[in-house]
């Protein structure tokens, strides 16, 4: 089933075009990631899809039906975890979740079970009677999530649910989202943290300036980039330097030998970029099996020895960099 189908969506805030002919198609069962820097239009897209914002142009279908601001039957099947925390300060954890759940479910006994399930899902068992102001930032985020998902919606939007949370809460949140998806919910997840999106999402859209720049699985997106590999090599010493490793650390780069080798590495056929960070040589390479060998040969010829060698596949940041010419900071 087509859970979300957006075509030609345009949203202006006065002069500013926040969504610029935006298209999006999401199938049932996906964890779909909207990845883009702050201000790229992620929240605006969600709010338009949910008819919480008016828009200038475009066609929207949600859960296989046209949606309007009064489509309560469709909205009942949707959950939203907003970017800005929306909980009541005077209600405790259980009461908050129960309140939001009561907007959809009137049967009290059924609700009690659902609230319990939501508490377990986000790991708030020890905080049932806590009011929000007694909770840490990460725990409030978890409460915000529990409030949005307790009624077991078919489609759930998570708008930057992990901003400024501690690693433990972040893991609990990502794990909870995976479980909701396994239980049958389709998930739309926005973030500017590329690593999260990479780990969590079945498909990813990279957006910027209100436009979809590229969409695909993590692997498909990475195939778009010319950079195939990042190589990091710890350079240890020049020709005459002492072999004692305890002295290696006290060498003060940039040594002329390193600088010279850097120039040679830059001229290699597969090098895209190369730089020296202290005594670490960082090289981005185009697709090739011989790239690493060629670099090591240059170092050998220059009589530079090396310690650790790391090689990493490209990141979504490389994809973003290649498409937009700028970094997507994580």
Positions that interact with Mg ion (CB under 5 A): 42-43, 83
- With contact defined as beta carbons under 8 Å apart, do 244 and 305 qualify? no
Neighbours of 65 (CB within 10 A): 11
- The beta-carbon contacts of 250-258 under 8 Å, at least 24 apart in sequence, are 251/279, 253/278, 253/279, 255/279, 257/302, 257/303, 257/304, 258/304
Q: How far is the CB of 49 from Mg ion (least distance, A)?
A: 13
In the bound state with Mg ion, the residue whose beta carbon lies nearer, of 83 and 302, is: 83
For residue 138, the partner it binds in ligand ADP, Mg ion, none, with Cβ less than 5 to 8 A by kind, is: none
Name which of residues 39 to 68 contact ligand ADP (CB under 6 A): 39-44
Size of the site for ligand ADP (CB under 6 A): 11
Sites for ligand ADP among residues 291-310 (CB under 6 A): none
Is the CB of 18 or the CB of 291 nearer to ligand ADP?
18
Provide, rounded to whole angstroms, the least separation between the CB of residue 36 and Mg ion: 9
Q: Is 33 in the site for ligand ADP (CB under 6 A)?
A: no
- Judge contact between 248 and 241, C-beta under 8 A: yes
Least distance between ligand ADP and beta carbon 43 (Å): 3
State the binding partner of 168 from Mg ion, ligand ADP, none, CB within 5 to 8 A by kind.
Answer: none
Q: Looking at beta carbons only, is 40 or 228 nearer to ligand ADP?
A: 40
Instruction: List all residues 6 or more positions away from 223 whose beta carbon is below 8 Å from its beta carbon.
Output: none
Supply the DSSP string of 170-221, one letter for each residue: HHHHHHHHHHHHHTT-EEEEEES-HHHHHHH-SEEEEEETTEEEEEE-HHHH
Taking the least distance from each CB to ligand ADP, the nearer of 54 and 252 is: 54
Among 36, 153, 238, 314, binds ligand ADP (CB under 6 A): 36
């Amino acid at each position: 089933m087509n859970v979300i189908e957006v075509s030609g969506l345009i949203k202006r805030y006065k002069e500013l075009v926040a969504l610029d002919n935006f298209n999006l198609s999401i199938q049932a069962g996906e964890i779909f990631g909207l990845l883009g820097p702050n201000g790229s239009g992620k929240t605006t897209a969600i709010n338009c899809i949910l008819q919480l914002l008016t828009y200038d142009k475009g066609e929207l279908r949600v859960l296989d039906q046209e949606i309007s601001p009064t489509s309560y039957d469709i909205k009942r099947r949707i959950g939203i975890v907003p970017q800005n925390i929306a909980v009541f300060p005077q209600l405790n954890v259980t009461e908050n979740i129960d309140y939001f759940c009561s907007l959809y479910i009137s049967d009290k006994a059924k609700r009690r079970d659902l609230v319990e399930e939501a508490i377990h899902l986000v790991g708030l068992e020890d905080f049932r009677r806590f009011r929000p102001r007694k909770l840490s930032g990460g725990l409030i985020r978890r409460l915000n999530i529990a409030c949005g998902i307790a009624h077991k919606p078919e489609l759930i939007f998570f708008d930057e649910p992990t901003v400024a949370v501690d690693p433990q809460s972040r893991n609990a949140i990502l794990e909870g989202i995976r479980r909701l998806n396994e239980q049958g919910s389709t998930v739309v997840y926005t973030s500017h943290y590329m690593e999260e999106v990479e780990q969590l999402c079945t498909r990813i859209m990279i957006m910027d300036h209100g436009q979809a720049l590229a969409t695909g699985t993590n692997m498909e997106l990475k195939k778009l980039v010319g950079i195939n590999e990042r190589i990091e090599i710890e350079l240890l010493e020049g020709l005459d330097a002492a072999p004692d490793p305890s002295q290696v650390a006290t060498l003060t780069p940039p040594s002329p030998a390193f600088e010279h080798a850097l120039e040679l590495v830059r001229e290699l056929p597969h090098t895209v970029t190369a730089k020296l960070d202290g005594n670490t040589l960082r090289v981005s390479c185009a697709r090739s099996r011989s790239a690493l060998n060629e670099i090591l040969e240059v170092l050998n010829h220059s009589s530079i020895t090396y310690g650790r060698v790391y090689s990493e596949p490209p990141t979504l940041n490389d994809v973003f960099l290649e498409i937009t010419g700028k970094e997507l900071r994580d």
